[in-house]
Chain A
Amino acid sequence: LAKTTQPISMDSYEGQEVNITCSHNNIATNDYITWYQQFPSQGPRFIIQGYKTKVTNEVASLFIPADRKSSTLSLPRVSLSDTAVYYCLVGERDDKIIFGKGTRLHILP
C-alpha cells in the first residue's frame, strides 16, 4: 500500500480556488489516486479519481505530474458548504482501501 501525506488542515475564503496536495512517493504502477470528501456525521463521498495527467469533473480537478509521486485536488470557487475533510487515497486493485487522517478544509466567509 502506498502511504499518503496531506496537510492536516487548511483555511480559505469563499470564492477562492483551493488546492490540496497529497504526496505518495511509493505509488505503484497499477495504483489509482482517489479523493473523497466527508462532512460531519456522514460517510465519505467520492469526488474524483485519476491515474495520470489531469482529470476534471463537475466538482473538482485532479492534477497528477508525470512521476505520479504527488497529486493536487483543485476546488474552484469554494463556498462555505465545501468545509469538510478531504482524503487522498492510493491503492492497487482488489486491495483494502485505507484512509489516512485527511485534510480539514475550513472555508471562511
Chain B
Amino acid sequence: DAGVTQSPTHLIKTRGQQVTLRCSPKSGHDTVSWYQQALGQGPQFIFQYYEEEERQRGNFPDRFSGHQFPNYSSELNVNALLLGDSALYLCASSYRQGRGDEKLFFGSGTQLSVL
C-alpha cells in the first residue's frame, strides 16, 4: 500500500515563474491538505481539498491555488513566484470522518527553491 507520494522531490525556479506540485494521497483517503514549511518553522496550512472543492484555506494569497481530481489526487499551483516562496511543500492526506479525530499522513515533500 503506497503512502502519500509527491512529485517532484526538488525544483528550482526563478522569480516570476509558475510552478505545479503534485500529490497522490494514501489509498482510501479522500481529503488532501497542503502545507508550506520554511526552514526551522512549523508547517503552515495553505488549503484543504475534499470532493474536488477547496474547503478550508489558510492565510495565503491568491497566487496559491489548487485542484483535486476525481481520483483524489491534487495539485498545488503557485504563480508569480517570489524568493519568499522557497520552502518545503508538504501534502497530507486523510479520510474525512467528521469526528475530529482526523489523522494526517504526509508525503516527503517538494523542496522548492526560487532564485
**Interface residues, chain A, CB within 8 Å of chain B?**
30-32, 34, 36, 41-46, 49, 51, 85, 87, 91-102
Q: Which residue of A30, A42, A85, A92 is within 8 Å of B109 (Cβ)?
A: A42
Scan residues 52-104 of chain B and give those whose CB is less than 8 A from a CB of chain A: 55-58, 88, 90-92, 96-104
Chain B residues, Cβ within 8 Å of A43: 4, 90-92, 106-109
Chain A residues, Cβ within 8 Å of B35: 99
Instruction: List 11 A–B pairs whose Cβ atoms lie within 8 Å, in order of A's numbering.
Output: A30-B100, A42-B108, A43-B108, A44-B104, A92-B100, A94-B55, A94-B100, A95-B100, A96-B48, A96-B57, A99-B44
Chain B residues, Cβ within 8 Å of A32: 100-101
Main secondary structure of the interface of A (DSSP, over half): loop
Count, chain B residues at interface, CB 8 A: 32
Q: Give the distance in Å from the alpha carbon of A43 to the alpha carbon of B104 in the complex.
A: 10
Q: Give the distance in Å from the alpha carbon of A100 to the alpha carbon of B55 in the complex.
A: 21
Contact B43 A99 (CB under 8 A): yes
Contact A96 B96 (CB under 8 A): no
Q: A55: shortest Cβ distance to chain B, in Å? A: 11
Q: Give the distance in Å from the alpha carbon of A36 to the alpha carbon of B42 in the complex.
A: 11
Contact B104 A36 (CB under 8 A): yes
Contact A41 B111 (CB under 8 A): yes
Q: Give the distance in Å from the alpha carbon of A94 to the alpha carbon of B109 in the complex.
A: 23
Q: B55: shortest Cβ distance to chain A, in Å? A: 8
Q: B43: shortest Cβ distance to chain A, in Å? A: 5
Chain A residues, Cβ within 8 Å of B107: 43
Q: Give the distance in Å from the alpha carbon of A92 to the alpha carbon of B97 in the complex.
A: 12
Q: Which residue of A31, A87, A94, A95 is within 8 Å of B42 (Cβ)?
A: A87
Chain B residues, Cβ within 8 Å of A30: 100
Chain B residues, Cβ within 8 Å of A94: 55, 96, 98, 100, 102
Contact A93 B42, CB 8 Å, known A41-B109, A42-B109, A43-B107: no
